[in-house]
Each structure stands twice: as C-alpha cells, then as structure tokens.
Structure 1
Amino acid sequence: MSELHFDLLKRLSEIGGIPGREERVRELVEAEVKDLVDELRTDALGNLITVKRGSAPDGERKRIMLSSHMDEIGFIVKYIDDKGFVRVQNAGGFDTKNLYARNVIVWARGGDLPGILNPGGRPVHIASPDERKKIPEIKDLVVDLGLPADEVKKRVRIGDPVTLVQEFREVGDLLCGKDMDDRASVFVQIEVLRALQGVNHPHDVVAVFSTQEEVGLRGATVAAYSVEPDIGVALDVTLAVDTPGVPAEEATTRLSDGVAIKVYDTSMISTRWLVDEFIELAEQSGIRYQLEILMGGGTDGGAIQRSRGGVPTVTLSLPTRYIHSVVEAVHKADVRAEIDLLVAYLSR
C-alpha cells in the first residue's frame, strides 16, 4: 500500500466539530471522499453516508456498513455574565483535570472568537491549600474572550459551540493531537476507501461518517436504520493504558501491539463469528492484532448491532493513550494494521 496521508489526519484533528455541529468536519470529509465512492448523501442528523458498490451480481451483494464518528467532545455556551465571561455546558464527557488553561474557539456570529478556558477562582499564588487541590467541575469553567461584555453579548449566543484548540504533532512513532477520538478512525475509513480504488471487492461498502456519537450513538442509530446493513463494522479508539502507574491487567490495549478487535464494551458484545473471522484473517495475513475488553464506554457498533431486527457487528479499535484530552496519541503501526485488516476483509 502507498504511504498514508498523515497531512489529512492533521487537518481532521485540528478542525472543530462538537456533537450536533459537525458540519466543518463533514465538509472536509466530503471533499476527500467524493471521488472515491459511487454514491454520497447527508441525512437529517448530518451523517455523511457514502456507498462504494461491489462487484458481485445483484442479489449476491451484501451491504457492509463501516462507521466512524465525526464529532468531538466540546462545549456549548450556557450563560454570559455581566463582565462578559462565558459559562459552558459540556457536550460529551471530560476528565476536568485536563481542562486548566486551554485555548478555545467560540463559534460566534460574524466569525470565530479566540478564547481562554480556565476555572474561576484564585490563582495558585493566593489560593488556600484546599483550593490548590480541588479538581474543577464543568460549572467552574469560564471562557475569557478579552472583549467588553456588550461586545460579547452582541456576538455570542446561548448554544454557540466552543471547541478546544491544539496543534497536531508527530511525536516519535505517535500521532498526537485532539480528537484522535474519533478523527483517527475517520482517517482510517477514508484511507480504506482510497485503498479500495482499483481493488475488486464483492460487496457494497457503505462508509458512514456519523454524528453525535459522544452523546449517545445518535447518528449511527438512524444511519444503521436507513442503510439496513447485513454486517456492521464500527471504527473507534480504545484505551491504551500502558503508561506508568497502572497495573498490566488494566491496560485494555497497548500501543504498537496492533489493531484491537473488540470482544466487549458497555454498549455491545461483538458478534463472535465476526471476531473469529477477523482474528483468522489477521493471522493469515500477518497483521498484528490484540483482543479488547473495555469496561467503560461504547461505540457506534452498539447502535448498528441493535438496529431493526439486529445486525452482526464487530468494532475495530485504535489503541489510544490519554483519551479525552487534547494530547490523544495513536501509533502509526496500529493505524496501518487497522487499514490493512479492513482492506483485506473487504476485498475477500
């Protein structure tokens, strides 16, 4: 296979798109895939649904639905006080200890506004010992836009998105930035469509770039209902807890050990015969893989599996360090392994 387009992953990582406001991501993805697929549409929830038709005769072709979500965890404007400071509501789950002194963008009328997100209260120089130890709650966070209150209230509305800002970097063999969850999987899905050009694949590949996963698998739920897939393959990230301070048995997955084939999470139990098919194919093809049991969290696979009368479904995961922070990190070798395994599966 050709060299991967990590410049695309950089653009996907750095662009903003909270649940329900994925339009900037969708525009970027659509521009990348429009020449790689036979059909393309956007549904009422903003899912981008693409179809690459297979070569098998009518009546023999199955529909294999891939799904990776475009949304990222972020915030919406909740309140603007008399000094012009903005309070926020989270859209998706944060570990708030990762939210000190962050650069953000408020999607305001007339254009984006740069802001500073920080907890209110005393700075460390004058804080009490107890205040220094406190982990902030979402209600403690404020956005400083550096503008007079009347200007803020003129340009910012309740419900405006607030997205974090972080530069994408390559750190050794790691690809690091915000929104590897799940833009790394969006990237994988695009690269799979690219790799399938000129490759015979018997079944229709319905690649869905879904919305609102971080707030309850909402986009994939309606997409799976309309697509009516025969097989579902969700693409997402999973915990790589292979850093100091955590026992080996709690690692979930480890970076560079290969693509993770999910067995269980709190949204789904992967269909066992599909798990076995992917294991067998990985071993036959010499593709590194690991098995995943995730004790907290779910993926689009849970929505696909429970659609209509039920769909045989498996999730392929990218092991990721520092999930739900702005320095989420995946390993280049695991990205390659996931692309190789998917292409091998789809072209069988």
Structure 2
Amino acid sequence: MAELNLGLLKQLCETPGIAGREERVATVVQQALAPLVDEIRRDPLGNVIAIKRGKGGPRVMIAAHMDEIGFIVRAIDDRGFIRLQPVGGFDPRVLPAQRVRVWTREGDGLLGALQATVKPPHLQQAGDDKSVTINDLFVDLGLPAEQVKARVEIGDMVTLDRPCEVLGPTVLSKALDDRVGVFVMIEALRAVKEHVVEIVAVATTQEEVGLRGAQVAAFGIDPDIGIALDTTIAGDVPGFEPEGTVTKLGAGVGIKVFDTSQLPNPALVQHLRAIADREGIPYQLEVLPRGGTDGGAIQRTRAGVPTTTLSVPSRYVHSVNEMAHLDDIAAAVRLLTRFLEEAHTGRYIPGA
C-alpha cells in the first residue's frame, strides 16, 4: 500500500469547519475525491457524496464527518470582547489561554486570545471560584471595539488555532475528530482495486450536533451496508484504569462492538475481524461506554442497515491537541480497502 499522504491530512485538519459551516473543508474533500470516483456532488445539508460504481453488487455507504467542534459569535460587548456559543462539546477546562480564529464574512481569520473571566493568580483571594464554564469564556482580538464590530458579526465561526504536527510515529492536531476519518476514506478509495460493490463515500456534516448529515445522506442513498469512520478514546494515559482505556495508541484500528448510538451488526464485525486476521492488520475491539458516530444514523435509516464503525484511537479527544498513531491510521486504511474489495461476499441479515 502506498505511503500515507500526510500533506492532505494536514490540509484537512487545518481547514476550518464547524458544524453547519463545513464548506471550506468540503471543497478540499471534493478536490481530493473527484479523481477517484465516477460521480460527486453535494446535497442540501452540505454532505459531499462520491460514488464509485461497482459490478452489480450491494451498495456500501462509508461515512466520515467533516465538522469540528467550535463556536459561533454570540455577542460583542461595548469594549469589543466576543462572547461565544459552543457548537459541539468542548471541555471548558482545556480552553482558557488558547488561540482562536474568528472567521469573518470576508473570509478573514482574525487571530485572538480565548480567555476566561477569572482573576489571574496575582489577584485571587482565598475562596475565589477558580472553575471555568463555557459562559466564562471570551475572545480578545486585540482590536479597538469599533473595528471588532465593523468586521465581526453575530454567527461568525470561531475555531481553535492549532497546526497539525507529526511527532515521530504520531500526529498531533485539532480536529482529528474527524478529519482523520475523512482522510482514511479518501486513502482507501485511492487504494481500492477490483470491487463488486457500489461504493458511496460521504463526507458528512453536522455530526457533532446530532448525526444530522449522515441521517439525511443515508435516507437518500438507501445503502445495503454502512461503515462509519471516526476517532475513539485511547485511554492509555495517566488517570485511566486499565479496564477503562477503550483502546490504546499504536495497537491497531478499532472495530466497534458497542457505543450508545448503535449496536453494530455482529456478522459485519466478524467479517472485518476475519479480514484483519487474514491480512495481518492489527485491530482492537472497541466498547465505547458513552458517545456515538454516524453509524448510529445509518443503522436506523429506512428499514435498517447492517452497520459498524472503524475507529482511529485518539488521545485527548475533543481538545486542541488530539493525538493519533500513524500505524493505526494505516491499519484503518488497509482494513477498509480490503473490506470494500470483498464486501459483496458478506451475509449480514440475521437468520438470512
């Protein structure tokens, strides 16, 4: 298999796109997918839908979401400080003193400091509340109030300002959730050879606010098989008990067994495991006690779809420094590629 195109991964991670505002990322995805497929389009919710025709086999929908967690501008006060409305679930503890970009209607990304309405240590008194909530956060653009109000509007997108960096065998970035899944999807379509199934690759929108893009895309596509691609928790760090790690970095792609959005199809899980065992692809069985993926929306579309999720283990999920292992990413690409080449052989309806 060809070497991973890390330049594309970096471009995907660094392009801004919160839920409902994925158009910049969609352009990058569409440009990358167009040479690999027979047909490509966007639907009314902004999903990028790419079709690679097969030879009369079943229709396989692959879904990876483009949106990252972030904010929109909720208010601008008389001093030019910006208050925020979260779009997706950030832990407020990781946010104070970060840098952000406020994306204006002209397309400018204004750099600012994300701060909290908490006194600095020099001025704190005994008993002062040092906890931080989302409502305590504000953005300081370092500009006069009149300039802020002239350039920034209510509803403008705000994203964290962190580059994608390779650290030896790992990659560190904002928005690996789920730009790395989009990357796996693109790389698998680049690598796939002979296949009978019709492949419908969907870069979905609005996953972080309720799996909305996957829901409408799956309804229109009416797939026979669904594979979601996402990140999952790698709890192999201080603070986790061994039984609660979910997955470990560098131990292989996650094959979903359970999350709170879906109960994956057992026969589909077993087929993926059999391919991985045969091909020597490292994998981990993933039980995620809380959380979900686009697979939950695909599974419940129309009359039901056999579905599971392939996961890239990630440390520090929903933070500005998500970390994944390049070997796990490569394993996800290999497993998805091999599955697409033989998905027509599977039988996934219970009792059929």
Equivalent in the alignment of 2:223: 229
Equivalent in the alignment of 2:117: 120
Q: CA deviation at 1:170?
A: 1.1
The answer to whether the 8 Å contact 2:234/2:315 transfers is: yes
Question: Any idea what SS the aligned residue of 2:122 has?
Answer: coil
Q: How far apart, in 1, do the equivalents of 2:305 and 2:14 lie?
A: 34
Q: CA deviation at 1:203?
A: 0.6
TM-score by length of 2: 0.95
Gap change, CA 1:4 and 1:309, over 3 Å in 2 = same
TM-score by length of 1: 0.96
Which one of 170, 185, 191 corresponds to residue 187 of structure 2? Answer: 191
Question: Any idea what SS the aligned residue of 2:309 has?
Answer: strand
Q: How far apart, in 2, do the equivalents of 1:337 and 1:285 lie?
A: 10
Q: How far apart, in 2, do the equivalents of 1:187 and 1:127 lie?
A: 46
Q: CA deviation at 1:259?
A: 0.5
RMSD (Å) for aligned C-alpha atoms: 1.0
5+ residue gaps, structure 2: 343-352
The answer to whether the 8 Å contact 2:312/2:332 transfers is: yes
Q: How far apart, in 2, do the equivalents of 1:130 and 1:24 lie?
A: 46
Q: CA deviation at 1:7?
A: 1.1
Equivalent in the alignment of 1:92: 88
Which one of 236, 241, 249 corresponds to residue 255 of structure 1? Answer: 249
Q: How far apart, in 1, do the equivalents of 2:127 and 2:25 lie?
A: 41
In structure 1, give the amino acid aligned to 2:52.
Answer: K
Alignment of 1:275-286 (within 5 A): 275-286=269-280
Q: How far apart, in 2, do the equivalents of 1:176 and 1:237 lie?
A: 13
Q: CA deviation at 1:130?
A: 4.1
Give percent identity, aligned residues only: 52
Equivalent in the alignment of 2:328: 334
Question: Any idea what SS the aligned residue of 1:295 has?
Answer: coil
In structure 1, give the amino acid aligned to 2:309.
Answer: T
Which one of 150, 157, 162 corresponds to residue 153 of structure 2? Answer: 157
The answer to whether the 8 Å contact 1:96/1:135 transfers is: no
5+ residue gaps, structure 1: none
Equivalent in the alignment of 2:58: 62
Q: Deviations over 1:284-312 (max 9, x none)?
A: 11111110010111000000000011100
Q: Deviations over 1:193-244 (max 9, x none)?
A: 1112xx1111111000000000000000000000100000000000000112
Alignment of 1:23-172 (within 5 A): 23-54=23-54, 56=55, 60-110=56-106, 111-131=108-128, 134-172=130-168
Question: Any idea what SS the aligned residue of 1:34 has?
Answer: helix
The answer to whether the 8 Å contact 1:72/1:179 transfers is: yes
Q: How many residues align?
A: 341
